[in-house]
Amino acid sequence: MMNQPRSGYAVFINTYCDGAVPAISDGQGCYVVFQSEMEAQREIVDNALTRLQEFLDGNRDFDDAITVEEYVIPVNVNPDGSITDASGKQFGPNAD
């Protein structure tokens, strides 16, 4: 029996050159896929809180600290570890 794709949620960001791309990797070169939309949203909030604290500490400018560009979309995780968004665009399996 072949492994079937599983569904999940990934945090994306729009880039100038590549359009929408996954924004979070696990430090070992793989994209992070969350089991629920709420988990992915909480990751965005956690990152935003970190940026705000960096502003308060004097390590980040105001506009950068208050700007949240990340968003959550549903994805499928393929047996090879790559992820596919709703439009069929595939990423990975390793973050570049």
The pTM of this model reads: 0.87
Q: What is the pLDDT of residue 1?
A: 46
The tokens 């604290």 sit on which residue?
53
28: enclosing H helix or E strand: none
**According to the model, what pLDDT value does residue 35 have?**
96
Q: Is the pLDDT of residue 77 over 60?
A: yes
How confident is the model at residue 27, as a pLDDT?
Answer: 83
Task: Supply the pLDDT for residue 18.
Answer: 87
Residue located via tokens 């665009």: 89
Confidence band, pLDDT 50/70/90 cuts, at residue 81: confident
- Eight-class DSSP state of 71: E
Band (pLDDT 50/70/90 cuts) for residue 2 is low
